[in-house]
Structure 1
Amino acid sequence: MSFNPIVIEKGLYPGFTRSMLEYNKARAINPGIMAAAMEIQSNGAYEKLGWLGALPSVKQWVGELNAKEFNSYDYTIKNLDWATGVPINENDIDDDQTGALSMFSAALAQRIMVHPEKMMFDLLINGDSDLAYDGSAFFADRTAPNDNLLAGTGVTLSALKTDLISALVAMAKFADDQGEKLNARGNMIVCPVALQFNFESLVYSPADPTATGGVDTYNPFANKFTVIGDPRLDADDSTDWYLLSSREIVKPLIYQKRQEGRPRLEKTPHTKTWVYSADYRGNGGYGIPTLAVKTVNA
């Protein structure tokens, strides 16, 4: 087979598009961490998200309507370029008898599609130092009652049960920037893989796994949470975990999308090497801190 880049593009690019569509369908069924991220379609180099301040609360309308303006926040998410690629030698294309090159399209599409998930985990890991829209660290010992950085009591089933209750109660008591109680209910546990199976036992069992004496006790956590374990959290700290609320309109995390993934095929000058790559534009950022709690174990 003689090398024809136009023919190669026509073979590779549709495979990339198909893989992207298939991954989008799978994510719609099982969004994972992306369920806790509000997706924003960006139309420029950046988006200014000063509107993250709370809406005015509802009060009795007596006389002239008292319309309170948003608090003024200067929070901007800049879109970045992200890319991945693989070199292809013309000889490999000429000699390909198995169709192995077609796997590159699926592999590149997968890399592009899972990258936003990586950004969301990185946001959680760095949340005790990176700033939210209000200028404080996303996870911080904030002014009462909005302290969303809690001390844990351990990683046994009993300790996780105790700390999960503490995180749920703390989140329910959080208030917006106008003092209105949010009554937010955490429904997603994000944890290291080292804790995943304990959490799954704790929240998926119909009976309370911490009950003693063999008593079949009702489990108030049963079927009320999604548990997501990820090894990136193990690499950071295998005992810290997060409670998130993904039910609100504005969510704890933000995925800002500027440009969908797209493939490219470019020749390296004066060589027989071509680079088959894919790139996209976008970025991640923080949404509402009071929809997230980090529990830290010493």
Structure 2
Amino acid sequence: MIGVGAALVGLAPWLVSGARLPLQNLWAAPTTPDDMPRALLPIGQYHLLTIVGLLVTGGAAAGTVLRVWIPDRRRTVTGSAVAGLLAVHVAAAAQSLTVAGSGLSAGQTARIYLVGILAGVVVTLAAAVVALLLLSAASRTTAALGVGLVAVPTALWAGEWALAFAEPFEVPAWVHLAIRWLPAVLVGCALAWCGLASMRRRAVWLVDLALLWLVPPVFDTVRTVVGTRVYLGDPGAMLTLARDALSSSLGPGGGSAATVATAVVIAVAGLLVRAALRRRRSST
């Protein structure tokens, strides 16, 4: 039930928004957004990152519940949670891909499109399971590593909640700002909780900060490449576009450095607070 419930929590912002299949470039018949069929996942080339946020956050929610609960039969309960999570995720993916496939125009292009979407969904399902296993682990370092993995997808999930109730231009600026810095806050708090007492924990700091630096540019690159119809069918041009977009995102003008710096400041501040509390308890 934990796995099923967490999967539904992950899908919640999409379900609340109406769960209409996004308009498809390869749709067989002219239609409007309100006439599109219902789908449990937003299948579409412009919504791949939304799928990542919905599925990975579900895995993160299940892992967090298990980490807080600390069941006696940890392996058995964790395995059951993975099964429940995958049951919902696989059912949602199958229903959505079936609905999308039934309405797409016939031809090789549509088949390649569906296979590409399916591949992305399968990779995301695996990432959701990894997130669950990392966050539910007994080791504090492993759980902190899991936070680094899910920080950016969680921000994507939070952004979907904002869009579920308003158009993008209607979302207040402070909401966009909070979502923008949410990964840095999550990673910073996780690193402060993890600490620096061993080489393993220091390695987790490096990995989490590296993920915080690399994942947003990679996601931005994916959004740019799959959202550009001009280069579809031209692998060479798409690779060039991906390289240029990634270089631009990682360059001085990108926001990753500021995000990493913010996480470091939060982590160091958290370590200082923890040290002060320990000294206070020891003195009393």
TM-score of the superposed pair, with normalisation by structure 2: 0.23
Higher helix content, 1 or 2: 2
TM-score of the superposed pair, with normalisation by structure 1: 0.22
Is the radius of gyration larger for structure 1 or structure 2?
A: 1
Higher strand content, 1 or 2: 1
